[in-house]
């Protein structure tokens, strides 16, 4: 009976371990929790490789991207938050290293230009539709002509 219980316990342990391992191993790194893995995953998607022109550190094979992944992993495992890791990278490699640039004087154009262009477009559309709706005023002479035309078409 105790043997059976032990065996059952072993099987459960192996299964749960396999499940756990599946959950927390990613990119060759082992994580203690699924949350840590998720933070790491998000970081490698959002951080940009300074050596490459347009690749995040998850996709890049550059040695520097590897160094940054390692740094991100170590910091996540030490309990640093996602923002702390981002700040750490930006403090060394600049805003270039993050795919979401902050809003400041230099990046204002980047953030505001789409909004500005959309507003201009809407303004132009409104003006054009208004102009089209304006009724055309007829002079007395024109009104008379119109009347005549109408009567003529009735007669036909």
Partner 1 sequence: MSDAQTKSNKNWWVLFLPLVVFIGLVVFLLKGLGSDPTKLESVLIDKPVPEFSAVDLFNDNIQHTEKVLYDGPLLMNVWATWCPTCRAEHEFLNKLAAQGVPIVGLNYQDDSRAKAIDWLNTLGDPYTVNIFDPEGDVAFEFGVYGAPETYFIDANGKIRYRHVGDVNQRNWENKLQKIYQQLQQESSS
The residues binding partner 1 (CB under 8 A) are: 50-51, 53, 63-64, 67, 71, 90-94, 96
Nearer Cβ to partner 1 (32/92):
92
Residue 143 DSSP SS3: helix
Nearer Cβ to partner 1 (22/54):
54
Nearer Cβ to partner 1 (53/78):
53
Q: Tell me the HSE value of 15 on the side-chain side, using a 13 A CA sphere.
A: 6
Give kind and range of the element (H or E) at residue 140.
helix 140-155
Q: Which two tokens stand for residue 105?
A: 């004087």
> Minimal distance in Å, beta carbon 140 to partner 1?
18
Closest-CA residue to 42 (of 15, 10, 77, 69): 69
> Minimal distance in Å, beta carbon 132 to partner 1?
18
Neighbours of 77 (CB within 10 A): 14
Burial of 44: CB neighbours in 10 Å, binned 0-12, 13-18, 19+: buried
> Minimal distance in Å, beta carbon 33 to partner 1?
26
> Minimal distance in Å, beta carbon 8 to partner 1?
47
């Amino acid at each position: 009976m105790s043997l059976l219980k032990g065996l059952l316990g072993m099987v459960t342990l192996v299964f749960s371990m396999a499940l756990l391992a599946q959950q927390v191993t990613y990119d060759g790194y082992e994580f203690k929790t699924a949350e840590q893995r998720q933070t790491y995953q998000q970081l490698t998607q959002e951080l940009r490789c300074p050596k490459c022109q347009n690749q995040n550190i998850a996709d890049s094979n550059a040695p520097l991207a590897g160094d940054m992944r390692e740094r991100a992993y170590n910091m996540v495992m030490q309990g640093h938050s996602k923002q702390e890791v981002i700040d750490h990278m930006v403090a060394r490699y600049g805003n270039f290293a993050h795919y979401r640039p902050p809003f400041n004087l230099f990046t204002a154009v980047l953030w505001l230009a789409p909004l500005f262009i959309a507003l201009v477009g809407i303004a132009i559309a409104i003006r054009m539709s208004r102009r089209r709706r304006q009724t055309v005023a007829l002079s007395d002479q024109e009104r008379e002509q119109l009347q005549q035309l109408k009567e003529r078409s009735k007669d036909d």
